[in-house]
Amino acid sequence: MRMTTTFARLKKAGACETGYRTLAKHLVSVEEYGEDKEINLLTILESNGFYDALWCLRATVQDCDKEKRFIACNFAESVLNIFESKRPDDDRPRKYIEDARKFANGELSSEELNKSRDAAYAAAYAASKFAGKFSADDAAAVSDAAYAAAYAAAAVVTAAYDTAYGAAYEAAAVAVAAATYDAADVADDAAATASLEVKKQQLTEIFRKHLQD
């Protein structure tokens, strides 16, 4: 989906000065480009990087909350393999993401989604108690992966986040946290760092695909 913002919208939303200046320089200047001229988020992704572009979801011209929720779900889904590698018989986080997508499409009631949400949080809590069975880092990675699913899907039915923008941002943060713990089990620091870069690039490509659809 094509998503755009403007310098005026970014300023009103409280964009940080560093990011704002980086984008302005990329587009020559605010004055020359125009405060109210639309800026494609793909441009911001290339200019400022993943996190700044993701932040800009809060200031889009288009009403694209549904798309933002799907982005959040896809971020969370990207770390389900961490959870399911240790808890292969527990499909509660995966089911919650699937149910969140159904709800966003009007295919599921809020009551049904709430039950699925509670189950996903229970799975995350249970996983956090497995430090005795796995290493501490493994337990943290598995728990964070489940929480990523729960946090992302929760925003489909709550205003606790800044609409759907917060869900996408939170899901990305928790996905990276899960990957961080997962990478901590790699003995070589360089390999762990490379693993995290791969995760960040994966999230970037998920985001880019949504911006191009």
- pLDDT digit string, tens, across residues 164-183: 556 566 667 666 666 665 66
Query: What is the CB neighbour count within 10 angstroms for residue 53?
Result: 24
pLDDT grade for 208, boundaries at 50, 70 and 90 = very high
* 36 plus 95 within the same structural domain: no
What integer best gives the mean pLDDT of the chain?
Answer: 79
187 and 130 co-located in one domain: yes
Question: DSSP secondary-structure letter at 40?
Answer: E
Q: Which of 39, 59, 79 is the last residue of a domain?
A: 59
State whether 180 and 128 are in the same domain: yes
pLDDT at 64 over 50: yes
Is the same domain home to 74 and 13? no
**Residues 100 and 44 grouped into a single domain:** no
Is the pLDDT at 142 greater than 70, yes or no? no
Query: What domain range includes position 34?
Result: 4-59
Residue 156 has pLDDT above 80, yes or no: no
**How many whole angstroms separate alpha carbon 156 and alpha carbon 11?**
27
The confidence band for 97, taking pLDDT boundaries of 50, 70 and 90, is: confident
The answer to whether residues 32 and 79 belong to one domain is: no
**One domain, residues 41 and 137:** no
Count: domains in the chain: 2
Beta bridge partners, 5, equal: 39
What predicted TM-score, i.e. pTM, was given to this entire model? 0.80
11 and 34 inside one domain: yes
Same domain flag for 168 and 109? yes
Residues 58 and 194: their CA atoms lie apart, in Å, by 30
With vertex at residue 193, the alpha carbon angle to CA 191 and CA 198, rounded to the nearest 5 degrees, is: 90
The pLDDT, as a whole number, for residue 162 is: 46
Does residue 53 share a domain with residue 76?
no
User: Are 74 and 157 in the same domain?
Assistant: yes
| Residue 125: φ, ψ to 5° | -65, -45
Per mean pLDDT, which range of 19-23, 96-100, 169-173 is the poorest? 169-173
- Pair 30, 125 in one domain: no
Maximum Cα interatomic distance, the chain, rounded to a whole number of Å: 60
Q: What percent of the chain shows pLDDT beyond 70?
A: 67
